[in-house]
Amino acid sequence: MHIVIIGNGAAGNSVASIVKKFDYEISIISEEIFPEYSACALPYYLSAEIPRQHVFLKKHEQYSRAGIHTIFGKKVGRIEVKNQKVILEDGGLKYDKLVIATGAEAMVPKIAEINKTGVFTLKALEDVDKTLAYHKRKVVIIGFGFIGVEAGIALKKRGFEVVFIELLDRILPRAFDKESLQF
């Protein structure tokens, strides 16, 4: 049986490790080129508290040693459910069972010109790399949620000037209601 997993994060790799016990053929497809890494470690890499290599949970060779075929750096174009086939930009891959473990996307507000140079999210390793490669030292963070706060603290540790913008009237609005922040 061939199990195809779309997504190389924690969920996809957990499925792979469980399914591997049954001696199935496993393929992991990821748009990213990197082996599994911890998204929770990204703020620590962004702040320079840990080096880049400490973000990774696996090395490329660990997949092949575990008998897992990887297709990294390829985007899934579509899934043909009737034919049990995942279509990539340069071909297709048949499956017996398909697991979609792609996680969530960063929420980007609908603001005019939001896709301009210098606008970043903090969801993937490549986001941190792009942020660190950018030459400006003043940062505006939209969203005072957990990820925004973590990003702000990390960038402040790197010497950036950080300003927050939040639509609601409090920090961590999904964690605290208005009453819990009254002292």
Catalytic residue numbers, as ranges:
40
From the list 15, 67, 4, 7, the residue with the least C-alpha distance to 37 is 7
Angle at 182 between CA 176 and CA 183, to 5 degrees: 125
Strands (E), the chain: 2-6, 25-30, 68-72, 76-80, 85-88, 91-94, 97-100, 138-142, 161-165
Are 164 and 148 within 8 A, CB to CB? yes
Query: CA 43, CA 123: separation in Å to the nearest integer?
Result: 10
DSSP 8-state secondary structure symbol assigned to residue 169: S
What is the distance of C-alpha 79 from the center of its chain?
21
Burial of 78 (0-12, 13-18, 19+ CB in 10 A): exposed
